[in-house]
Amino acid sequence: MELIEINPKIMLGKPVIKGTRITVEHIISLLSQDVSIPEILEEYKGLEKQQILACLQYAENILEKTATLDLDKIAS
């Protein structure tokens, strides 16, 4: 993803919006607390809507790669 970067020297390697110290986790947290995209853009001057949407896309990509197993079925 071109708008998200992971660098061990920035925020302990958490995914951030490129060129910032704003973590994907923080943006997702704000959205989950019903903070709107316009409100986030107002609070974080210089951010663009595309960067916030890139955070959502990053989260989707991570979840897409996550596998779940039904341990009860496996154990039987």
On whether the CB atoms of residues 17 and 47 are closer than 8 A, the answer is yes
pLDDT for residue 76: 65
Is 1's pLDDT higher than 80? no
By residue count, the chain amounts to 76
CA nearest to 18, candidates 55, 43, 44: 55
On whether the CB atoms of residues 16 and 24 are closer than 8 A, the answer is yes
pTM of the model: 0.84
One of 3.20.20.80, 1.10.10.10, 3.90.1300.10, 1.20.140.10 is the CATH number of 4-75, namely: 1.10.10.10
Instruction: Summarize pLDDT for 35-76 with one digit per residue, the tens.
Output: 999 999 999 999 999 999 999 999 999 999 888 777 777 776
Q: Domain ranges in the chain?
A: 4-75
